[in-house]
Amino acid sequence: MSDIVVCSFYTDDAYYRKEAKALRADLDKLGVEYVLEEIHKVEGQDWADMCRRKVPFLHSVCQRFPDKKVFWIDVDCRLLSLPDFVRNSSADIIGFQRGFGSSLTIGYQNRTRFWEPCFWGVGTGANARKMMADAAALESTSSLKATDDYFFEDAWRQNADSLTFQLIPGACVLGKGDPAFNLESFFVFGSSGNVADFKGKVEQHKGMTKPSGRQRITNLGKRLLRGLPQSVARRIVNIADRTGVTAILTSNGSVGETLSRRTSTNKVLRAGFDGNLLELETYASLLNTGGVTTSEERATIAAARTFAHYSSRDSANTVTLTWWARPFPGNFGDWLSPLIIGNYTDDRIVFHSPTAPIVEPHLISTGSIGRFITPSSIVVGTGISAADVELHPKADYVSVRGPLTAQHVVACGGPDVESFGDPGAIMSRIFPLSRSKTNGKTAFVRHFTHAQIPMRLPDHFEELSVLMSAPAQIADFLGALVTYDRVVTSAMHVFIVCQSYGIPCSLVTFEGFEDNVHGTGLKYGDYALGVGLETINPSVVPLDLMKFSFASIERDDAVSEKKKDESVYAIRLGLSNLESRR
The partner residues of 8 in beta bridges, in order of sequence, read: 36
Cis peptide upstream of residue 329 (ω within 30 degrees of 0): yes
Helix (H, G, I), strand (E, B) or coil at 463: strand
- Verdict on whether the full-model pTM lies above 0.85: no
Architecture of domain 4-198: Alpha-Beta Complex (3.90)
Strand 396-400's sheet: what is its strand order?
348-352, 318-322, 362-364, 377-382, 396-400
Q: Which of 531, 328, 507 has its CA nearest to residue 428? A: 531
Report the alpha-carbon distance of residue 402 to residue 422 in Å, rounded: 8
As a whole number of angstroms, the distance between CA 582 and CA 272 comes to: 24
Q: What are phi and psi of 552, to 5 degrees?
A: -80, -15
DSSP helix/strand/coil, 285: helix
Q: How far apart are CA 448 and CA 218, in angstroms?
A: 27
Exposed/middle/buried for 224, CB within 10 Å: 0-12, 13-18, 19+? Answer: exposed
Q: Which residues contact 217 (CB under 8 A, 6 or more apart)?
A: 249
Contacts of 289 (CB under 8 A, 6+ apart): none
**3-state SS class at 6:** strand
Secondary structure (3-state) at 571: helix
Give how far Cα 382 sits from Cα of 138, 343, 562, Å: 56, 18, 19
Q: What is the dihedral of CA 155, 157, 162, 165, to 10 degrees?
A: 90
Q: State the DSSP H helix or E strand holding residue 559, giving kind and residue range, or none if neither.
A: none
Amino acid at 418: E
Q: What is the pLDDT along the chain (582 residues), one digit of tens a residue?
A: 789 999 999 998 898 999 999 999 999 999 999 999 999 988 888 888 888 999 999 999 999 999 999 999 999 999 999 999 999 999 999 999 998 888 877 877 667 789 998 999 999 999 999 999 999 999 999 888 888 989 999 999 989 999 999 999 988 998 776 666 667 789 999 865 554 444 554 555 555 555 555 556 666 666 666 666 766 666 666 666 655 555 555 554 443 344 578 889 999 999 999 999 999 999 999 888 777 787 889 999 999 999 999 999 999 999 999 999 999 999 999 999 999 999 999 999 999 999 999 999 999 999 999 999 999 999 999 999 999 899 999 999 999 999 999 999 999 999 999 999 999 999 999 999 999 899 999 999 999 999 888 899 999 999 999 999 999 999 999 999 999 999 999 999 999 999 999 999 999 999 988 888 988 899 999 999 999 999 999 999 999 999 999 999 999 999 999 999 999 999 999 999 999 998
Dihedral, 375, 376, 381, 382 alpha carbons, nearest 10: -60
